[in-house]
Every structure is written in C-alpha cells, then in structure tokens.
Amino acid sequence: MDKQKTISSEISFSGIGLHTGEKSNLTLKPLKENSGIIFKRVDIDEPVYIEALLENVVSTNRGTAIGKKNVKIYTVEHLLSALYALEIDNLLIEIDNIEPPILDGSSKIFFNNILNGGLTEQLAEREYYKISEPIHYYDENSDIVLKILPSKEFSVTFESDFPFKDIGKQKFTLNSLSEYIKEISSARTFCSLDEISYLKKDNLAKGGSLDNAVIFLSEKNTKDDISKIEEYLGRNLIYDDSSNTVNNTELRYSDEPVRHKILDLIGDLSLLGKPIIGHIHSYKSGHKSNVEFGKLIKEMNSNFKFNKEEIKTIIPHREPFLLIDEIIGGIKGSSVIAKKNVVNSDYFFEGHFPNNPIMPGVLILESMAQASCFLSFNNVDNTDQKMMLLSVINSSKFIKKVIPGDELILRVKLIKIRLGTANMEGIAMVNNKIVAKANFMATIVDRNNE
Ligand code: ZN
C-alpha cells in the first residue's frame, strides 16, 4: 500500500497571476496526514481556509476558481496538477492574493521546485477512487465527452480540436503519472489571437503575456485582423506567412495544446480529494465539464446506495407507482442517481400502447421526481408524516423513446431548497444517452393535510 505524502520543508513561489496581472506570493507548508490540500488566503484580516475540493468550486470560466464565504482563489489548476502528479496528499498553500502566479504558463516550475525541496512519506495510507465500472459524462450543450474506465493505474487520453493554424485535431495519451514531468509538465497555457480581444473585454488574462502563454494564429486571421489586435495591445506582433504562433514562440511539443489540456484536466480532477485509479478519456473537455465529471465520479463512488426496500422506508410511493428500483449513487443533500429497469410487465405498457410499448414521458419525469423525493427525504426528519408533490415544471424535454428492456438511469441534482420547496434539475439516460431532461420544483407537505 502507498503512504500519504507531504513536502519536507516550506517552499515559496512569486509572480503575477494570469488573469489578475497582480503579483502574488505562495508559501507551501507541510500538513499532517488526512488533511488534504488546503489554501489559505493570508492577505485578509481573518484568514480564510479553502479546501481544494469540488464542492468549493465557484467558477470555471477560463480557469478553475475555488472559494468560501465570498473569498476566492482563481486559476488553481496548474499548481494542483503538479501536486497530483507528485502524489502529494497533504499541504497548506498560503497565498496573499486571488490567484497563484502563472510562472511560465505550465506546471513545470511548480513540479521541479517542489520535487527538489523533497517529499516526506507519512504513516497513513493513501485512499483512492478505484474505478470498477465505466462512468460516462456527456455535456448536453456541446459534443464534449468524458469517460473513465477501470485500469490498473491512472492514465489519460485526450482528444482536442482547435481551429489554430497547423494544430486542428490532436490526441495524446499519458500512460502513467511517472511520465508527467517529461510529457505534460512543460505544456503551456494557450489561446488564439482572436480570443485576446474577448479576454480583454471580460477583463481576463491581464497578466497574460508572450512569456506565459502561447498565442496561436488561425488560418483565417488576415493581416487586417492582426493589426487591429496590435493596436488593441499597443504593441507589434512578429509573424510571417509560415508562423502559427505570434512572436516566434516555438512550441515545446508539436502537440502542446492537447498536452496542456491533460495538465488542466488532472488539476481539475485532483479536486476529488483522492487520487484516481482508472483510465480517463476526454473528448474536448474544459474546466466546466472536467468539474462536472469529477462530481459524477464522486457520486458513482459514494456509499449513497439503497435497494428497493430501503427506498420504501424513505419515500411513500408504492407499486405499481414506485418508479425507481435502486439508488446507485449520489451525494447526501446534493444529488442522487437512481435506476429503473423498464420491463414488459410495467403496468403502463398495457395501454401505452398495445403492441407498441413506450414509457410515457411524464412517467420518466415522475421517476425523476421520486428520485428527488428520496434525496430530499434522506435529509429531513419525520418523513413518515410527509410527502413531496411536484409543484412546477419549469422545462422538460423528451428526446428518445424508452421501451421495455431499457435500464433507465435518473440523475437529479438539487439546485436549491427554500421553505420546503426544492428546485431540481434531472436527466434521464439509457445506454449513456440522454433520453429526457427536466427542471422542476417539488414541495414537501404533510401527509394528511393537503
Ligand atoms: Zn491551463
């Protein structure tokens, strides 16, 4: 068994943040076993501690930010990626600004300096997310796909497709964390020349410079576009017809963008708080989908699992109208994943429709509502005197037919709960494809009164 690790002695880093352009100082300090990775903002009157965990993610726009009590730390992914690759479990990161230094845009300086400072093995054993069943994630609004498959060790395959000159589709596999330093750590953050104007408009990337980011030209960039951006930046850019980057930035790897995407993905998934054993496959994912995927891994590997009899002790629904068979995952108070085996003997198929059985869309929605009832009731007292009624359907969409033989998976997230009314967002899937989705509200009421 592997032991947990921390660093042997304090290490500091200084430099400007990518988005804020402000100088920040980091001091890394050893922490005792089972502490995890914790950031501490030391520049405010009462220091705030923010654990590097998915539940503390507050933004995924152009980088991953974590926060607590309105105190935030932006762009944590490069440092976290290096820590994950170094297999550091416990660490205090003191920071005196809202963003760690971007350094050279990669994680190489973090990785090397921390390694050179020495690591200390601790007494406690490491705990892992060991993947035993494949987990798939699809972003409904894009063609992003993420999946993780059982494997003996941690590995990542990434496929990217950027419309940059001479870049296009790229694919890279990191076979083992032992190859991280050589294959991944030097890959720098990047953007397209066109993106610079958007970033400036959003007041982002203020610290972005040609020393810490690769700026790519696209096939369609005309001399006119480029001179507009030069005007905007107030400086001249060096390029010629053969360049695909500005100012003669030489790539560190011919496929540097896809490798940096792996660097980011590792940093984002490190927010699970435990290392993963499994093979990750990403198609075009970014910070938002990486974080959502991390949450799904956490839900699927939680001990939030209940059989039908246990479900019946929590929610009042009974056969033939009990439309969930099993709770297969979730996070108490936050999300639930339920399963329903759709079978020929389900009573509604008799009439919906004779010889052409299709599960009614409203019953898919009802099964989501029952899963949400379980999630809510699992968290409140006296549920034997209560029930939950669907009160509003804000939106719903039925995308594919559900028929006998299908295994219906219902994933419902609690958006917020106020005065006994919960706002929920659910998706229903068969064979990893979304068949329905809905945003609805349900209200907890007393059983006999209303
Ligand atoms: Zn990055």
352 catalytic? Reply is: yes
Q: Ligand 1 centroid vs 327 CA: distance in angstroms?
A: 36
Residue tagged active-site, from 78, 279, 281, 287: 287
Q: Ligand 1 centroid vs 255 CA: distance in angstroms?
A: 15
Q: Ligand 1 centroid vs 60 CA: distance in angstroms?
A: 11
User: Which helix (H) or strand (E) is 226 found in, with range?
Assistant: helix 223-233
Q: Ligand 1 centroid vs 75 CA: distance in angstroms?
A: 8
Q: How far is it, in rounded angstroms, from Cα 399 to Cα 11?
A: 53
136 catalytic? Reply is: no
Is there a cis peptide before residue 404, judged by omega within 30 degrees of 0? Answer: no
Q: What is the DSSP string of 312-374?
A: HHHS---TTS----EEEEEETTTEEEEEEE--TT-GGGGTS-TTS----HHHHHHHHHHHHHH
The residue ranking higher by pLDDT, 363 or 21, is 363
Quickly state the pLDDT bin for 1 (edges 50, 70, 90).
confident
Q: How far is it, in rounded angstroms, from Cα 357 to Cα 359?
A: 7
Query: Would you state the pLDDT for residue 385?
Result: 84
Q: What is the tens place of the pLDDT at every residue in 395-427? A: 999 999 999 999 999 999 999 988 889 999 999
Q: Ligand 1 centroid vs 344 CA: distance in angstroms?
A: 49
Q: For the chain, what is the mean pLDDT?
A: 92
Residue 450 has pLDDT above 50, yes or no: no
Share of the chain above pLDDT 90, in %: 76
Q: Ligand 1 centroid vs 116 CA: distance in angstroms?
A: 23
How many Cβ atoms from other residues are within 10 Å of residue 345's Cβ? 8
Query: Would you state the pLDDT for residue 353?
Result: 96
Q: How far is it, in rounded angstroms, from Cα 16 to Cα 29?
A: 21
The residue ranking higher by pLDDT, 205 or 159, is 159
How many Cβ atoms from other residues are within 10 Å of residue 377's Cβ? 21
Residue 5 has pLDDT above 70, yes or no: yes
Ion ligand 1 neighbours (CB, 5 A) are: 189, 264
**Tokens 């300090």, residue?**
29
